[in-house]
Amino acid sequence: MYEKFYHLEADPFRLSPNTRPGYRHTSYIQAKTYMLYALRRGEGIVLVTGRPGTGKTALLRDFINSIQNEPIVTADLVSTQLQSTDLIRMIAFSFGIDPLIGAETTIISELKARLSEMRNLGRRPLLIIDEAQNLENEALRKIELLMELRWQSEPLIQIFLIGREPLRELVLAESLKRLYQQVNAVLYIEPLDERGTAEYIRHRLIQVGWDYDPQLADEIFPVIYTYSHGIPRLINLICSQVLLFGMTEGLHFIGPDELNSVLEQMINDQMLPSPLPHIAA
């Protein structure tokens, strides 16, 4: 809607995860760099955690795009699809084993044979589970079994677990000692700081052909940071509402008054968390 009014090539603040236009801030770059490093070294389990809306899914898609030309066979699952009783079968199916009949031990033997064949052909299997904080303890114990499978002296399979902050405590629990001993890195995607929030907004606008219409007052960026907590999903939500308001009112300049009108309505509609304390005071 507002794209046409402001002569933008696309919606710069769409809420669904995407890699373009993307703003790659420091912890995002660090996480992706170490994911690639761990993958190429063949290290066991990598955890990637962060608050909802900080860009974990966008990072995952960016990472998968980056390894398309490498000899990697990737199984990409979402934990909401997985019950502990079906986890091994779903993983086996993702690596091309079908039909999935017989006992779980039989499926694991078939999976080991398939993955070993991949390794012998110079290809490396990578299992990625998104929203992994939803995995039950029993499912995590199944992952322990997979990590015990070996190819020569290395783990037969690499596993990246992506999820919200509780994932770290879940995997590193004493009851899962065999699993957390296989964890080689715990990466955390930080929310943006105040400067990063302003850079993020400008970056996404520029990526879709923004020619400074609307003009944005410098004073609005700290306020957007305060009410978004530096979380990209909330920044997108605020900015999308601001541009919609600007289009509706026929505005080509957005300043503190215009932003405050939008924020007041969003707060009334309970669309935002409480603002950060140092501004709320």
Could you write out the DSSP letters of every residue in 17-75?
--SSS----HHHHHHHHHHHHHHHHT-SEEEEEE-TTSSHHHHHHHHHHHTTTSSEEEE
End-to-end CA distance of the chain: 36
**pTM score over 0.85:** yes
How confident is residue 22, by pLDDT bands cut at 50, 70 and 90?
low
In this prediction, residue 276 carries a pLDDT of: 82
Of all residues in the chain, the percent with pLDDT exceeding 70 is: 95
Alpha helices in 172-280 (DSSP H): 177-180, 194-207, 220-228, 232-249, 256-268, 277-280
How confident is residue 281, by pLDDT bands cut at 50, 70 and 90?
very low
Q: Provide the CATH number for the domain formed by 26-189 in this structure.
A: 3.40.50.300
How confident is residue 85, by pLDDT bands cut at 50, 70 and 90?
confident
Neighbour tally for 162: CB within 10 Å: 28
Give the whole-angstrom CA distance, residue 252 versus residue 218. 15
Domain ranges across the chain:
2-17+192-280, 26-189
For residues 148 and 45, is the Cβ–Cβ distance under 8 A?
A: no
DSSP state of 164: -
